[in-house]
Amino acid sequence: IARDIDPLAIEEYFGLGYVPDPRSILKSVRKLPAAHTLTVTRGGARPQPREYWDLPRFATATPSVEAASEELITHLRAAVQARLISEVPLGAFLSGGVDSSAVVAMMAQGSTEPVNTCSISFRDPQFDEARYAQLVADRYRTNHHVEVVESDDFGLIDTLANVYDEPFADSSAIPTYRVCQLARRRVTVALSGDAGDETFAGYRRYRWHMHEERIRSVVPQAVRGPLFGALGAIYPKVDWAPKIFRAKSTLQSLALDSIGAYFNTVSVVPDYLRSRLLSPDLRRELQGYTAVQVLRGFADRARDFDALSLVQYVDFKTYLCGDILTKVDRASMAHSLEVRVPMLDHRFLEWAVTLPPGLKLNGQSGKFILKKALEPHVPDDVLYRPKMGFAVPLASWFRGPLRSRVRELIDGGELAATGYFDPAMVRRLVEEHQSGAREHSAAIWALLMFDAFLRNVLRADTRDVPAAYAA
């Protein structure tokens, strides 16, 4: 097949960090969207994807905290038990977070044998959750295995490009690859805690979004747009300052409508930077198209949802499928490991989404009802600690051991030859980051992985492709 890159996919990749379905990075390839089938009939009409399931309407029930907690454990236990049927060794990822701890607790309570658990440990305490995973492992006496990932574990860049087939800018793919590698040494099937954040509003960005929504509800768009747009334009970008003084992004978000603002929050490369990073020729090809339209398409299906449920629904349809599940699926399959996701059991989800927003995001507490329900099952030190995420120290890598590789983005090679990017802007991003003047690690990682895709995937094996079809 032809290997022509889809310019719309480039815009979506640098906006979201992945290429969302149904688009792929190649013009000639499409992905089957989640919860869809495609029926091909000989001699029939051109096949069209058909959706067979969707999340039901959010926030339709009003149970008490006690009743919801009891039901949650019942549904979660059933979802976990249904995924313990296996004729091969089975275990679980245990990161030390709430979701994986919940899954391990339900597994251990339903098993007569110790559960096999796997964790990744980082030497940098800023990123290390291993001590929290150990609390859960000790409580349930699991067969716990920990592997230390060095802070310079960036040798996977080219490997990941091949594993993911497309540009993929979530840097947590590195520790995910390692934990799958560790798990496969001992088990063939592993359970994960994925989808807990989307289901129970665990991401910090949900709290920020709801703060902004309160302002949007009292200040009309006709006032917000010009006022906050002007303030956001003149407010300096001070990545080095304490967070309270880094208001540029918030001011920019307040100038936008709800979905535009949420996109601004989740973007890997925000609009103002992406418009300068992509070359004038590529921007002309886009004809005004921007990646926010992906989110708007799903938001239109949930117009009557409350503000929190709306962005949760959008995340289910985009970030969960395109980033989280893709990340784990490719990394696990690279090691012949099957990963099962209890919190995506359709019966569990169909119940969970009906809970009112206040049982998910309660004041400053995300996952409120999940944590309350788990209090008898998971240590408080795990439930009520600050969220860390599964991150790697990109900023320091690009100023240290990966400095020379990042400089290659400036000096030419595959990235420059595409004509998709403004060379002056690429140089500026790299130089501002490496000098410490700005924090551009997410944008640089996205460029680095796009470059790795070009070299390892797009240009690879073209010797076997007829010349007329080779890009």
Confidence of residue 164 (pLDDT cuts 50, 70, 90): very high
Alpha carbon distance, N-terminus to C-terminus of the chain: 9
Residue 236 scores a pLDDT above 70: no
Burial label, 405 (beta-carbon count in 10 A; 0-12, 13-18, 19+): middle
Confidence of residue 23 (pLDDT cuts 50, 70, 90): very high
Q: Which helix (H) or strand (E) holds 194?
A: none
What is the Cα–Cα distance from 90 to 87, expressed in whole angstroms?
A: 9
Render pLDDT for 100-134 as a digit per residue (tens, 0 to 9).
999 999 999 989 999 999 998 877 777 778 899 99
> What is the maximum span of the chain, computed from C-alpha positions, in angstroms?
66
- Alpha-carbon torsion 353, 355, 356, 357, what sign? negative
**Owner of token pair 């719309």:** 8
Instruction: Tell me how far CA of residue 6 lies from CA of 13, 30, 139, 419, 460, in angstroms.
Output: 11, 11, 51, 13, 18
Q: What are phi and psi of 164, to 5 degrees?
A: -90, -15
Helix residue spans in 191-325 (DSSP H) = 196-200, 204-218, 221-234, 248-254, 258-266, 271-277, 280-286, 292-299, 307-315
Which amino acid is residue 142, in one-letter code?
T
What is the Cα–Cα distance from 147 to 149, expressed in whole angstroms?
A: 6
**Which residue did the predictor score with more confidence, 445 or 234?**
445
What is the Cα–Cα distance from 108 to 121, expressed in whole angstroms?
A: 22
Residue 174 scores a pLDDT above 80: yes
- Give CA angle at 192 (349, 196), nearest 5°: 40
Give residue 225's pLDDT: 66
Residue 4 scores a pLDDT above 60: yes
Query: Range with the lowest mean pLDDT among 31-40, 230-239, 273-282, 386-395?
Result: 230-239
Q: Which letter does DSSP use for residue 356 in this model?
A: -
In the chain, the percentage of residues whose pLDDT exceeds 90 is 72
Task: With 0.85 as the threshold, say if the pTM is over it.
Answer: yes
**Which residue did the predictor score with more confidence, 33 or 409?**
33
Which amino acid is residue 134, in one-letter code?
Q
Query: Range with the lowest mean pLDDT among 117-126, 174-183, 374-383?
Result: 117-126
Residue 469 scores a pLDDT above 60: no
Instruction: Tell me how far CA of residue 48 lies from CA of 2, 75, 117, 430, in angstroms.
Output: 22, 35, 42, 43
Q: Which of 414, 437, 445 is closest to 167 using CA atoms?
A: 445
Helix residue spans in 185-247 (DSSP H) = 196-200, 204-218, 221-234
- pLDDT mean across residues, the chain: 90
Render pLDDT for 243-302 as a digit per residue (tens, 0 to 9).
444 566 777 777 788 999 999 999 999 998 999 999 999 999 999 999 999 999 999 999
What is the Cα–Cα distance from 33 to 27, expressed in whole angstroms?
A: 16
Whether the bond into 114 is cis, omega within 30 of 0: no
Q: Which of 40, 73, 115 is closest to 342 using CA atoms?
A: 73
